[in-house]
Amino acid sequence: MTDKIKEYIAEAEAFTTANKEELEAFRIKFLGKKGILNDFFAEFKNVPNDQKKEFGQVINNLKKAAESKVAQIQEAIESKEEAKGVYGDLTRPGEPFAVGSRHPISIVKNQIVDIFSTIGFNVSEGPEIEDDWHNFTALNLPEYHPARDMQDTFFIQTNPDVLLRTHTSSVQVRYMEENKPPIRTISPGRVFRNEAISARSHCIFHQIEGLYIDKDVSFADLKQTLLYFTKEMFGKSKIRLRPSYFPFTEPSAEIDIYWGLKTETDYRITKGTGWLEIGGCGMVDPNVLTNCGIDPVKYNGFAFGMGVERIAMLLYGIGDIRMFYENDVRFLEQFKSSI
Ligand code: DAH
């Protein structure tokens, strides 16, 4: 009989479950009123006296094995239930969370930066709150110069020397003050103008400025650089430089790209001409070089400036500049697949 009990001990020790009902069945089988243990206890009186001691010990071992098994499994189940209470069902599938998208202005800015960086331009930045020198005077726009009216300026409080930069050309000045030629830099950034907000213009927008200073730089270098850019950016290989005026460049030009006249939209955005203006450019005025501590006899170069919103509107067919600043997710989500 002790062999039979030992078999039960082995069975109790090997038992395992994570299920409450199965554990209860085990408990009843071994420790219940009509369970195995009670059966053996009832047998006790029939055991010969000389075997009683040994019988008592094995039966006690069985009792211990069954009781400790029940306690151990019960604790495991309870602690699992506790964890469920705090964390929920740890095996359920994760909840998907919304992945953001880059803002179209950032996407276009990054593309422009990539294109110019492959031909050796680095990226430079300057402050949005500027002084008169960097935004105007050093760029050949002394006080009372009529061309200051080309850009309606936000002044900070009543101090006319502190203003929100009206263009990223201010970064040209800062870069030349701090770096010696040869210079090849582009400066992306936010600019501010005191203008009425409409579908076509906003008081906050973004520009990318380009500056190239070295020995013997020619207008042809400027044109080839811009041509390379428009090919890479728009896949268009026809540009036109239309004579214009900027105080900081001489000669100056407006950059037009030939967009084509294939669709109705082409007609609308080019006003039936096929040509689109994307920025201004020119050979840096010698006065600007002098103002920034660069000898205009030894060095010359070119500069250009482009509006990022305008380029983004062309690329994505966006009809209203205000959409860039409203941050409506229905608008922003459309750029999810872009870099
Ligand atoms: N700063 C000019 C503007 O905001 C754009 C510009 C034109 C920048 C010609 C240049 C340039 O560097 O050479 O309208």
SS (H, E, C) 36-104: HHHHHHHHHHHCCHHHHHHHHHHHHHHHHHHHHHHHHHHHHHHHHHHHHHHHCCCCCCCCCCCCCCCCH
Smallest CA-to-CA distance from 12 within 40, 54, 47 is with 40
Which ranges constitute the DSSP H helices of 152-236? 169-178, 219-234
* Pocket mutation for ligand 1, best pick of 186, 205, 241, 246 (most atoms within 8 Å of C-beta): 246
Rounded distance between C-alpha atoms, residue 247 and residue 285, angstroms: 8
Q: Best mutation site among 203, 248, 255, 287 for ligand 1, i.e. most ligand atoms within 8 A of its Cβ? A: 248
Residue 338 confidence class, pLDDT cut points 50, 70, 90: low
User: Is 0.75 surpassed by the pTM of this model?
Assistant: no
Cα 235 from chain centroid? 26
Ligand 1 probe mutation, 163, 281, 284, most atoms within 8 A of CB: 281
Q: Which atom of ligand 1 is nearest to the CA of 168?
A: 1
Binding residue per annotation — 250?
yes
Is residue 77's pLDDT more than 90?
no
Measure 42 CA to ligand 1 centroid, in angstroms.
105
Query: Which is the closest atom of ligand 1 to the Cα of 172?
Result: 12
CB 261 within 8 A of CB 271: no
Distance 226 CA to ligand 1 centre (A): 14
Average model confidence (pLDDT) across the chain: 91
CA angle 301, 304, 307 (to 5 degrees): 170
| Residue 246: per-residue pLDDT | 95
Helix orientation angle between 308-316 and 219-234, rounded to the nearest 10 degrees:
40
Which atom of ligand 1 lies closest to the CA of 169?
1
Q: How far is the CA of 114 from the centre of ligand 1 (A)?
A: 21
Which pLDDT value is given to residue 2?
A: 79
- Name the least confident of 17-31, 78-92, 120-134, 233-247: 78-92
Pocket of ligand 1 from Cβ distances under 6 Å: 167, 169, 209, 246, 249, 280-282, 303-305
**Tens-digit pLDDT profile for residues 160-198:** 789 999 999 999 999 999 999 999 999 999 999 998 999
Q: Phi, psi at residue 158, to the nearest 5°?
A: -105, 5
Tell me which H or E stretch contains 131: strand 129-131
Q: How far is the CA of 280 from the centre of ligand 1 (A)?
A: 5
305 CA from centroid of ligand 1 (Å): 4
CA 39 to ligand 1 centroid distance, Å? 101
Which one of 167, 173, 300, 310 would you pick to mutate in the ligand 1 pocket, going by the greatest count of ligand atoms within 8 A of its CB? Answer: 167
**Closest CA to ligand 1's atom 8:** 305
Kindly report the length of the chain.
339
- Closest ligand 1 atom to residue 167 Cα is 4
Instruction: Write the pLDDT tens digit of every residue in 97-156.
Output: 777 889 999 999 999 999 999 999 999 999 999 999 999 999 999 888 887 877 789 988
Q: Whose CA is nearest to atom 5 of ligand 1?
A: 305
Instruction: Tell me the residue ranges of DSSP E strands in 193-248.
Output: 204-214, 239-246
Q: Could you tell me if 20 and 74 are in contact, meaning their C-beta atoms sit under 8 angstroms apart? A: no
Cα of 191 vs centre of ligand 1, distance in Å, is 12
Q: 246, exposed or middle or buried, with CB in 10 Å at 0-12, 13-18, 19+?
A: buried
From the centroid of its chain, how far is CA 69?
55
Q: How far is the CA of 253 from the centre of ligand 1 (A)?
A: 10
